[in-house]
Amino acid sequence: MLENLESALVEALEDEYKARATYELVISKFGRIRPFINIIESEKRHIQALLPLFRKYQIPIPVDNWAEKVTVTASVA
């Protein structure tokens, strides 16, 4: 049971890390444009909501290394 929980939490947090890194890169490349400035705040809240579950169940929190992995297109249009 705990293995499934750990797997699900890690997958959820990694997904949030990836999304946040993607939106940070979009904002860095194209400026503070909507909807990205709004969405990134949601991603940050999702991450903050997940972290207490890692602590509660004593699951190691994965390192966020998505900043060097994500790419964005040449245009947001």
Structural tokens at position 67: 């900043």
pLDDT in tens, 47-70: 999 999 999 999 999 999 999 999
**3-state per-residue secondary structure call for 36-62:** HHHHHHHHHHHHHHHHHHHHHCCCCCC
The model carries a pTM of 0.89
Using an 8 Å Cβ cutoff, are 20 and 46 in contact?
Answer: no
- In this structure, the number of other CB atoms found within 10 A of the CB of residue 67 comes to 14
The pLDDT score that the predictor gives to residue 1 is 62
SS3 20: helix
> Which pLDDT value is given to residue 3?
82
